[in-house]
Amino acid sequence: MRTEHINVTGMTCGGCASTVTKALKSVAGVSDVKVSVSAGKATVLYDEKVTSPDKLSAAVTGTGYGVNVRGAAHSQPAKGGCCS
C-alpha cells in the first residue's frame, strides 16, 4: 500500500470535497481517502499494484477539479468547483 498526497485546486466547500472523495474511492485499488478543502489536498491510500498516481489524478480532473503535482499543473486547471 502507498499513500499519495494530491494538491486539488478549485474546491470551495464540503460538496466539492464529497465529489472528489467519491471519485477517488471509485478507483480500483483505493482503500482510503481523506480530503481537506482548507488545505486543498486529498490523501489517498491505494494498492500500487492495482492503480497509479496518474489514475488518481485523472479521477480528480474528470470531476472538473485541477491537480497540481509537485508544483506543476497536471491535466487540466480547475473549473471553479461545484459552487460556481
Task: Give the pLDDT score at 84.
Answer: 55
Q: For residues 33 and 55, give the distance between their C-alpha atoms in angstroms, rounded to a whole number.
A: 14
> Structurally, what CATH architecture does the domain formed by 2-74 represent?
2-Layer Sandwich (3.30)
Q: For residues 84 and 73, give the distance between their C-alpha atoms in angstroms, rounded to a whole number.
A: 21
Instruction: Tell me the three state secondary structure of residue 52.
Output: coil
Task: Give the pLDDT score at 68.
Answer: 83
Q: What are the boundaries of each domain within the chain?
A: 2-74
- The single residue listed with the C-alpha cell 474546491 is 11
- Let me know: does 58 contact 74? Beta carbons within 8 Å: no
Task: Give the pLDDT score at 75.
Answer: 46
Mean pLDDT by 10 residues, the chain (84 residues): 93 93 97 96 96 94 84 50 60
Query: Per DSSP, what are the bridge partners of residue 43?
Result: 5, 34
- Which pTM value belongs to this model? 0.84
